[in-house]
Amino acid sequence: MAIHERVDLFTYANACHVVAVYENLVVDYARPAFQDKPSWFDSYVAVFDKVATDPLKWSNQIVPQFISVPQHVINSSTLVKSHFDTLDDDCKDLSRNPNDRDAIDDAISQLRSILNVVTTLMNDCRTLVNDLDQYSGMTAQVDHPVLLDGVKLSNDQMVENYRHIEYLHEEIGHLQAEIDALSHIPTPEAWAKVRECREKIQSDLQLLNSLQSDVIVLQGMNASIKGMQLQNQQVVSNFGAIRQQWGDFMDLLGNLQEQLNVTIEVLPTAFNFASAELNMAKVEWGNLLSMSRDLAGISYS
């Protein structure tokens, strides 16, 4: 496996793990911290919760397959080698007598045993590739729009809060100016108006503090979701190399399946052709084993 492919796999795994961390920053921190929770927050969190837990599918469902599929090949290598060794003996007998029925039957039995192993591996790999495709589609087509929406919602809310803050500052300034003007008028009506202005200023200051506090929460939420969005894009951009890697792995299994099936079919009537196919199957198994060892050497923690 090329070094860059190892890096892509590692980066992809890390990106998925990092995304999971942001849930605490966005939901657990923001919900209790808001002084005046935005009207859209709860409905967005309901959607966001799924996005934030999607990486668990990576660590709980896909990564175990990344480990188990190549390890299955490695664990099967001794058994498969013993079948190939027995096939070598059968081929020696058939090279002397291509019509040796016992050697043909035993060779076909050995080939079918190898084919059973390869078929199981192919099924496991197909499941892995399907899960990868679903995860990639979900990451790009479902999760990413939700993250973009979160960035926009928090941005828009900050803009609204800033406008309200600016308005309150202006209103407090006007009220203070009115108080200053009325302070020179010693009448009960003026004093009542001053009291009213001061009460309004106090109310505005409380609202101002609430809005400013919520802006800080929104800034943290916005930064966290932007971080998730960047990680999401990193996951999507790295997915191509990962999908290609496991697609190549599945192609090796498919080629091996085909060679074994052809060998089983032609062995009784065309030994020389079957022998050539068998040799190619051995090479393909060696390639598969080598690739499996590379894949098994990758850390996803």
Q: What domains can you pick out in the chain, each with its CATH number?
A: 3-296 (1.10.287)
Q: What is the pLDDT of residue 301?
A: 65
Q: Which two tokens stand for residue 166?
A: 């600016």
Cβ neighbours, 10 Å, residue 204: 16
pLDDT at 23: 58
Q: pLDDT tens digits for the chain (301 residues)?
A: 443 445 455 555 565 655 555 555 566 666 678 899 999 998 998 888 777 777 777 778 888 999 999 999 999 999 999 999 999 999 999 999 989 999 999 999 999 999 999 999 999 999 999 998 888 888 888 888 988 999 999 999 999 999 999 999 999 999 999 999 998 888 999 999 999 999 999 999 999 999 999 999 999 889 888 888 887 887 777 777 788 889 999 999 999 999 999 999 999 999 999 999 999 999 999 999 999 998 888 877 6
User: Which pLDDT belongs to residue 3?
Assistant: 38
Q: With 0-12 CB in 10 A as exposed, 13-18 as middle and 19+ as buried, what is 69?
A: buried
